[in-house]
């Protein structure tokens, strides 16, 4: 029996050296380690052998089994490695069929890696939405909450409550779409700015207030490359017991730096809006020329970004805030101007005519 | 407002470069939108014509000898107005001049004109680029120094200023000079307005009566007789031109000049044409007037007119009447300097679409203290320029005189608003430089008297702005708000919109934002109920009403894009619709809508370019709902916008939240859409919102093995597959059901369809036995048979 084992061993070693792929190795394994292999038969038949012989044969047979298992494992590794190397050596574009037993796709390689991938439908947010989110996020990080309000407004909220009574010359700054109403009804309009929400927010909340209001506004204007009849604004309002002009400057300075970059210079100058006092215009140095003057900044080196100011005491009084106790600041900016400046868009009408060749660029 | 620096210099010393000056003005609130330089002349000097002789070879030409401050040169001159003693601009050869014909710059060459050598040329205004005038040579003021380069004498920079509506005082050269003085720390110099009076008192010759003092707080007038109307002197005309006004004659020009100088509009009447020599300031009756521009204007009782004994002679503060216009023949002039109600002026000028220099100033609210000073100045100048005599005295009817109380200002208030303490002395100094009179009341308090021209300053806050802008906003500190954060109020709709948009983008849909305004015709094409709010003053019919559905914008966007898109178009919009409400603002409702058409995938070498179908659109909605944690039902609908059979109502919690379907070809055609088929969906986000608010709860991952079985049944065609699926899902051991095959055709009887489901059995608490699963499967099959008449497919 021991001779038999030695015979099996040498035959197996012989065959092992001539194996060329994993399939042959598998056949070898079945032959020498399988259920029907001679070795398995011998191991099963151990019980029928006399005790002395049984001990000797058992030891040799188990040793051989361990040897075969090790050999199989080692040969499997080296054959696999040989297959991988073959694959590496193959040129791009040639498909190789790997021997079975390798845990992978059957074939490797594609005809041409420059072939386009399988198309996936691609959606995007409108550039206005993207910029609104970006700007609102900055103010949210500064403690502001985002609220929205009606686009169809009473004259009162759009004008009167903001110190712009009928016949006020500042009405020239806001060309207005009026809404047809029954005679005798209060005048209704499409809001010309987001500022009416200053009033609405203060009417329904007690200080402290810190909100930003994005939304559509409308102007009764013939459209051209820089004028639209509908566009977006973002209004901001902060009211508290110790809100100062310096806070206004700091908040807007922070906003400008976060949106336009740390390297931009920020300028505050006096300007007039009926519902603030003092009034402010914030500008940044021109990103196209760096301040030396060019067409984008009409030679001034500065680009106006927004209007702002300290909330007018008459406005505070109108919403029953005591201007002796509370102060606040407000600001409003036209949204489309910002992507126009940042991305070099030269016509505001592109935004809401929704040409996909435009929208897909953002 | 245009302001030549040379003119400003009459009232304030200016040492700054024009660029620095405009920067200071801009930063303090008076935006300089442009700088316009006149001059740049080389080889052109001031000369005096000392001799004139006829040209020997040409009747129309003269030989003018010009003294250039020592040197004398003779040039050939063709101008009819050349005369001995005139000061003129004289160009040496080599000077660059504008060719009056072509408008181009040409260099003056030495040449002979009709055989006589000309040593240079006397120039017209057009040749110098000062104005369009070319009828004759330009005549300079007599005091122009001969030999001085013209650039030194006439070169100037004009500031183009944008004046905000709160500062009518800055619609004047003196007003701007006051700003410059305050910004540069210089003194301001107001012109002397004294003059000699002669002859009778004005009171005996003319009268003024104000019938409507609410519309006219003050009316002042003077009278000049024996005047000679003629052209104004060149320096005056130059200034008017530099400010963009056309010179007319010495009388009208003075009214304009003084308006530019002081900011007070004036009017000159031909006194002979004033009937009964009475001026009555009153509301108009049912009458009309021919204005200076030759138009007949019908007046109404809300308008203020200046009338004589008979009829209106001017629309107060807006425009004069042609009947009392000053002409060459005029000898007696009544000068009006008045104050009018700004709202009334504004209403009248808007009604007539007449924005005159006068009305633009009056409508912003001028000081009632201004008219007298301006009137004195105009009277003085007019008498001087026209050689007329000034009647003694001034008519000054002033029913609207008001005391202006000083404003109390504390340094505490300044600090409270600006966030920085500014010393009382500094406050007083800054305000003082602007003409405010500050009186110390207590250590921290000032009583501030507002100068009459600052009609915009009323409150302490207004004074704070004055202080801040003169100090300079950039010099104030920069801090962040320090107070407590307000209570956070969640906005679920905003959150939903953000989520919906992001999910749809992930589904390959492109967001669009379309106009809220649309046309009634468009609304009628796409919705059965087009009752919409109308714009009273639309610009175009395309934007005449507010949308009540998002369909118009999306379908128009699709139509505009399909010509250049050859794959698919998938669009969505989240926006408001505006639903009219009786006697109130409309309801602004948040809606979602989307359209899909074209191929499922972009054309590629991978081959798949089937057309999108109903189930692509439905798949997008199912994905959206799944992500929102909502289980919708799709029920057949009758919406006529969609093709019959391909339309569904989306039901959530028993309520319809939207609709989905294939756009009816009739509707597509009306909307100029050539793609077929087009799928459109619409969701009412307000109705959907509550269903998305259910709190999220984690379910443990099942630990026990799954058993898969298939169920293939044949049912009547009209039975919705969802009913079959619901029954299968009704079995307590079933955890998931997937329809994997749907078939109608030869393999099944007519009027029937075959449905095959893969059913996943799994219990959260134990391993199911084969017998349990078999029993459950058997129960399902018998229920299907009992309730739906389903048979098992062999
Ligand atoms: Zn620039």
Q: CA of A165: which chain B residue's CA is closest?
A: B343
* Greatest pairwise CA separation for chain B in angstroms: 136
Q: Is residue A97 part of a domain?
A: no
Domain ends where: A25, A60, A85? A85
Question: What pLDDT does B59 receive?
Answer: 85
Q: Which residues of B touch A221 (CB under 8 A)?
A: 539
Same fold, B409-451+458-475 and B492-692: no
Q: CA of A313: which chain B residue's CA is closest?
A: B461
Cα–Cα distance for residue pair B420/B413, rounded to 1 Å: 10
Per the DSSP assignment, residues forming a β-bridge with B289 are B297
**Residue B46 and residue B87 in contact, taking contact as beta carbons nearer than 8 Å:** yes
Global confidence as pTM: 0.86
Cα–Cα distance for residue pair A112/A31, rounded to 1 Å: 42
In total, chain B counts a number of residues equal to: 794
| Domain count along chain A | 2
Q: Is A129's CB within 8 Å of B511's CB? A: yes
What's the token pair of residue B639? Answer: 């919406």
Element (H, E) at B219: strand B218-225
Q: Is B485's CB within 8 Å of A208's CB? A: yes
Q: Is residue A99 part of a domain?
A: no
Q: Which of A18-27, A197-206, B125-134, B599-608 has the highest mean pLDDT?
A: A197-206
* Interface with chain B: mutation pick from A114, A120, A121, A190, highest number of B CBs within 10 Å: A121
Q: How confident is the model at residue B200 (pLDDT cuts 50, 70, 90)?
A: confident
Of A169, A249, A356, which has the smallest distance from its Cβ to B165's Cβ? A169
Distance from CA of A340 to the nearest CA of B (A): 17
Q: Give the CATH class of B44-154.
A: mainly beta
Q: Is B419's CB within 8 Å of A121's CB? A: no
Q: Sketch the domain layout of chain B as residue ranges.
A: 2-39+157-184, 44-154, 202-397, 409-451+458-475, 492-692, 707-792
**Residue B650 and residue B687 in contact, taking contact as beta carbons nearer than 8 Å:** no
Distance from CA of B688 to the nearest CA of A (A): 19
| Alpha-carbon distance values, A28 to A35, A71, A76 (Å) | 13, 11, 11
Cα–Cα distance for residue pair B481/B245, rounded to 1 Å: 49
**Residue B658 and residue B647 in contact, taking contact as beta carbons nearer than 8 Å:** no
Work out the end-to-end distance of chain A between its first and last CA atoms, rounded to an integer number of angstroms: 81
* A29: containing domain: 2-85
Q: ipTM of the predicted structure?
A: 0.87
Give, to the nearest 10 degrees, the angle between helix A22-33 and helix A51-89. Answer: 170
Question: What pLDDT does A173 receive?
Answer: 85
Q: Is residue A114 part of a domain?
A: no
Q: In chain B, helix, strand, coil percent, each to 5?
A: 30, 30, 40
Q: Is A179's CB within 8 Å of B507's CB? A: no
Question: What pLDDT does B210 receive?
Answer: 97
Give, to the nearest 10 degrees, the angle between helix B424-433 and helix B460-471. Answer: 90
CA–centroid distance, residue A292 to ligand 1 (Å): 6
Of A216, A268, A277, which has the smallest distance from its Cβ to B461's Cβ? A277
In the sheet that holds B87-92, the strands lie side by side as: B72-77, B62-67, B44-54, B87-92, B120-122
- Domain B707-792, what fold? Alpha-Beta Plaits (3.30.70)
| CA-closest candidate to residue B748, choices B776, B713, B704 | B713
Is A46 in the same domain as A148? Answer: no
Q: What is the DSSP string of B50-109?
A: EEEEE-TT-SS-EEEEEE-SS-EEEEEE--TT--TT-EEEEEETT-EEE-TTT--EEE--
Q: Which residues of A touch B469 (CB under 8 A)?
A: 270, 278
Q: Is B511's CB within 8 Å of A357's CB? A: no
Cα–Cα distance for residue pair A333/A252, rounded to 1 Å: 11
Of B476, B491, B569, which has the smallest distance from its Cβ to A245's Cβ? B476
Q: Is A121's CB within 8 Å of B511's CB? A: no
Predicted confidence pLDDT, tens digits, chain A (362 residues) = 788 888 999 999 999 888 888 888 989 999 999 999 988 988 888 888 888 888 888 999 999 999 999 999 999 998 888 877 777 776 555 555 555 555 554 455 666 778 888 889 999 999 999 999 999 999 999 999 999 999 999 999 999 999 999 989 888 889 999 999 988 889 999 999 999 999 999 999 999 999 999 999 999 999 999 999 999 999 999 999 999 999 999 999 999 999 999 999 999 999 999 999 999 999 999 988 988 889 888 888 999 999 999 999 999 999 999 999 999 999 999 999 999 999 999 999 999 999 999 999 99
Task: Specify burial of residue B687 (Cβ count, 10 A radius: 0-12, 13-18, 19+).
Answer: middle
- Domain B409-451+458-475, what fold? Phenylalanyl-tRNA Synthetase; Chain B, domain 1 (3.30.56)
8-state DSSP, B328: T
pLDDT in tens, B557-584: 999 999 998 889 999 999 999 999 988 9
| CA-closest candidate to residue A270, choices B697, B339, B167 | B167
Residue keyed to tokens 């075969």: A68
pLDDT in tens, B517-533: 999 999 999 988 778 99
Q: Which residues of B touch A182 (CB under 8 A)?
A: 583
Element (H, E) at A232: strand A230-240
Q: Which residues of A touch B489 (CB under 8 A)?
A: 145, 147
Of B419, B557, B605, which has the smallest distance from its Cβ to A244's Cβ? B419
Question: CATH for B202-397, among 3.10.290.10, 2.40.110.10, 3.60.150.10, 3.50.40.10?
Answer: 3.50.40.10
CA–centroid distance, residue A285 to ligand 1 (Å): 8
* Greatest pairwise CA separation for chain A in angstroms: 124
Mean of pLDDT over chain B: 93
What's the token pair of residue B236? Answer: 């005056």
In percent, the amount of chain B with pLDDT more than 90 equals: 80
Q: Is A277's CB within 8 Å of B464's CB? A: yes
Cα–Cα distance for residue pair B347/B719, rounded to 1 Å: 70
| Alpha-carbon distance values, B552 to B314, B518, B545, B592, B617 (Å) | 51, 7, 12, 13, 19
Task: Specify burial of residue B63 (Cβ count, 10 A radius: 0-12, 13-18, 19+).
Answer: middle
**Residue B266 and residue B259 in contact, taking contact as beta carbons nearer than 8 Å:** yes
| CA-closest candidate to residue B743, choices B708, B793, B677 | B793
CA–centroid distance, residue A342 to ligand 1 (Å): 13
Q: Which residues of B touch A123 (CB under 8 A)?
A: 504-511, 570
Cα–Cα distance for residue pair B14/B184, rounded to 1 Å: 8
Question: Which CATH homologous superfamily contains domain B492-692?
Answer: Bira Bifunctional Protein; Domain 2 (3.30.930.10)
Give, to the nearest 10 degrees, the angle between helix B173-184 and helix B424-433. Answer: 150
Q: Give the CATH class of B2-39+157-184.
A: alpha beta
Cα–Cα distance for residue pair B372/B353, rounded to 1 Å: 29
| Alpha-carbon distance values, A242 to A112, A191, A248, A251, B525 (Å) | 68, 30, 11, 14, 56
Measured from the Cβ of residue B770, the count of other Cβ atoms closer than 10 Å reads 8
Q: What is the DSSP string of B287-322?
A: -EEEBTTS-EEE--TTSEEEE-SSSEEEETTTEEBG
Question: What pLDDT does B590 receive?
Answer: 98
Question: What pLDDT does B135 receive?
Answer: 86
């Amino acid at each position: 029996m021991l001779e038999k084992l030695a015979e099996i061993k040498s035959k197996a070693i012989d065959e092992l050296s001539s194996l060329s792929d994993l399939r042959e190795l598998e056949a070898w394994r079945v032959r020498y380690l399988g259920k029907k292999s001679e070795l398995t038969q011998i191991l099963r038949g151990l019980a029928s052998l006399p005790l002395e012989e049984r001990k000797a044969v058992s030891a040799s047979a188990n040793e051989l089994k361990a040897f075969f298992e090790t050999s199989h494992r080692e040969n499997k590794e080296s054959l696999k490695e040989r297959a991988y190397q073959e694959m590496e050596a193959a040129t791009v574009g040639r498909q190789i069929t790997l021997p079975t037993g390798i845990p992978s796709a059957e074939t490797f390689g594609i005809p041409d890696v420059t072939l386009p991938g399988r198309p996936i439908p691609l959606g995007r947010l409108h550039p206005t939405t993207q910029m609104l989110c970006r700007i609102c996020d900055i103010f949210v990080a500064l403690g502001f909450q985002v609220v929205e309000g009606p686009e169809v407004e009473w004259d009162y909220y759009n004008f009167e409550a903001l110190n712009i009574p009928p016949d006020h010359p500042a009405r020239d700054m806001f060309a207005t779409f009026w809404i047809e109403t029954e005679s005798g009804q209060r005048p209704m309009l499409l809001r010309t700015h987001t500022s009416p929400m200053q009033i609405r927010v203060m009417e329904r909340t007690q200080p402290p207030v810190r909100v930003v209001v994005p939304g559509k506004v409308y102007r009764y204007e013939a459209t051209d490359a820089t004028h639209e009849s509908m566009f977006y604004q973002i209004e901001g309002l902060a009211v508290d017991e110790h809100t100062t002009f310096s806070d206004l400057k700091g908040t807007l300075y922070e906003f400008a730096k976060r949106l336009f970059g740390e390297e931009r210079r920020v300028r505050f100058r006096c300007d007039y809006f009926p519902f603030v006092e003092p009034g402010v215009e914030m500008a940044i140095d021109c990103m196209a020329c760096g301040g030396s003057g060019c067409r984008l900044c009409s030679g001034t080196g500065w680009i106006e970004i927004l209007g702002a100011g300290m909330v007018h005491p008459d406005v505070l009084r109108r919403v029953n805030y005591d201007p002796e106790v509370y102060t606040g600041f407000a600001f409003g900016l036209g949204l489309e101007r910002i992507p126009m400046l940042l991305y070099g868009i030269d016509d505001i009408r592109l935004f809401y005519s929704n040409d996909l060749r435009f929208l897909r660029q953002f | 407002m245009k302001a030549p620096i040379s003119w400003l210099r009459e009232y304030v010393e200016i040492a700054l470069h024009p660029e620095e000056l405009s920067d200071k003005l801009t930063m303090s609130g008076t935006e300089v939108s442009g700088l316009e330089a006149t001059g740049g002349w080389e080889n052109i000097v001031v000369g005096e014509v000392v001799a004139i002789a006829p040209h020997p070879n040409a009747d129309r030409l003269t030989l003018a000898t010009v003294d250039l401050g020592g040197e004398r040169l003779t040039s050939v001159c063709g101008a009819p107005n050349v005369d001995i003693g005139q000061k003129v601009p004289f160009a040496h050869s080599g000077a660059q001049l504008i060719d009056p014909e072509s408008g181009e710059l040409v260099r003056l060459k030495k040449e002979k004109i009709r055989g006589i050598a000309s040593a240079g040329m006397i120039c017209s205004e057009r040749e110098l680029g000062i104005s369009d005038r070319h009828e004759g040579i330009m005549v300079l003021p007599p005091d122009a120094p001969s030999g001085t380069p013209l650039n030194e004498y006439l070169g100037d920079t004009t500031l183009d200023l944008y004046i905000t509506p709160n500062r009518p005082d800055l619609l004047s050269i003196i007003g701007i000079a006051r700003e410059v003085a305050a910004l540069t720390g210089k003194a301001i110099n107001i012109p002397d307005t004294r003059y000699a009076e002669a002859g009778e008192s004005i009171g005996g010759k003319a009268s003024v009566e104000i019938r409507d003092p609410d519309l006219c707080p003050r009316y002042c007038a003077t009278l000049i007789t024996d005047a000679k109307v003629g052209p104004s002197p060149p320096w005056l005309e130059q200034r008017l031109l530099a400010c963009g006004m056309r010179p007319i004659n010495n009388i009208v020009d003075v009214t304009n000049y003084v308006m530019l100088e002081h900011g007070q509009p004036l009017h000159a009447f031909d006194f002979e044409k004033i009937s009964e020599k009475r001026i009555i300031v009153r509301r108009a009756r049912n009458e009309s007037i021919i204005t200076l521009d030759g138009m007949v204007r019908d007046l109404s009782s809300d308008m203020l007119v200046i009338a004589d004994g008979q009829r209106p002679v001017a629309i107060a503060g807006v425009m004069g009447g042609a009947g009392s216009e000053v002409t060459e023949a005029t000898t007696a002039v009544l000068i009006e300097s008045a104050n009018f109600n700004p709202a009334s002026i504004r209403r009248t000028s808007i009604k007539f679409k007449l924005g005159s220099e006068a009305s633009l100033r009056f409508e912003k609210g001028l000081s009632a203290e201004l008219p007298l000073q301006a009137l004195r100045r105009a009277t003085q100048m007019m008498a001087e320029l026209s050689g007329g005599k000034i009647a003694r005295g001034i008519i000054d009817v002033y029913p609207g005189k008001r005391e202006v109380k000083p404003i109390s200002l504390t340094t505490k208030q300044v600090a409270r608003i600006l966030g920085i303490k500014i010393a009382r002395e500094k406050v007083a100094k800054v305000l003082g430089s602007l003409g405010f009179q500050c009186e110390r009341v207590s250590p921290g308090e000032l009583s501030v008297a507002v100068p009459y021209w600052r009609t915009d300053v009323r409150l302490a806050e207004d004074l704070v702005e004055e202080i801040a802008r003169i100090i300079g906003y950039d010099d104030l500190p920069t801090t962040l708000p320090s107070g407590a954060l307000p209570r956070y109020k969640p906005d679920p709709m905003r959150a939903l919109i953000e989520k919906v948009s992001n999910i749809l983008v992930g589904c390959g849909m492109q967001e669009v934002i379309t106009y809220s305004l649309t046309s009634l015709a468009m609304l009628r094409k796409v919705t059965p109920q087009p009752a919409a709010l109308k714009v009273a003053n639309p610009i175009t019919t395309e934007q005449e009403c507010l949308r009540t559905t998002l369909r118009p914008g999306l379908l128009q966007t699709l139509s505009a894009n399909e010509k250049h898109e050859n794959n698919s178009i998938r669009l969505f919009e989240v926006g408001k619709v505006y639903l009219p409400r009786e006697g109130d603002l409309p309801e602004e409702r948040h809606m979602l809508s989307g359209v899909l058409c074209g191929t499922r995938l972009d054309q590629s070498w991978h081959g798949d370019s089937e057309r999108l179908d109903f189930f692509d659109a439905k798949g997008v909605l199912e994905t959206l709902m799944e992500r929102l944690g909502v289980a919708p039902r799709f029920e057949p609908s009758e919406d006529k916008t969609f093709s019959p059979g391909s339309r569904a109502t989306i039901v959530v919690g028993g309520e319809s939240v939207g609709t989905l379907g294939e756009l009816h070809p009739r509707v597509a055609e009306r909307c100029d859409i050539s793609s077929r088929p087009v799928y459109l969906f619409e969701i009412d986000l307000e109705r959907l919102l509550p269903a998305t608010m259910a709190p999220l709860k984690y379910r443990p991952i099942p630990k026990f093995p799954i058993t898969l079985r298939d169920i293939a049944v044949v049912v009547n065609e009209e039975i919705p597959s969802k009913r079959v699926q619901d029954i299968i899902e009704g079995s307590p051991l079933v955890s998931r059901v997937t329809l994997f095959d749907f078939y109608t055709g030869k393999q099944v009887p007519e009027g029937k369809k075959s449905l095959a489901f893969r059913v996943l059995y799994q219990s959260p608490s134990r391993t199911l036995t084969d017998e349990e699963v078999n029993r459950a499967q058997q129960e399902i099959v018998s229920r299907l048979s009992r309730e739906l008449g389903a048979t098992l497919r062999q």
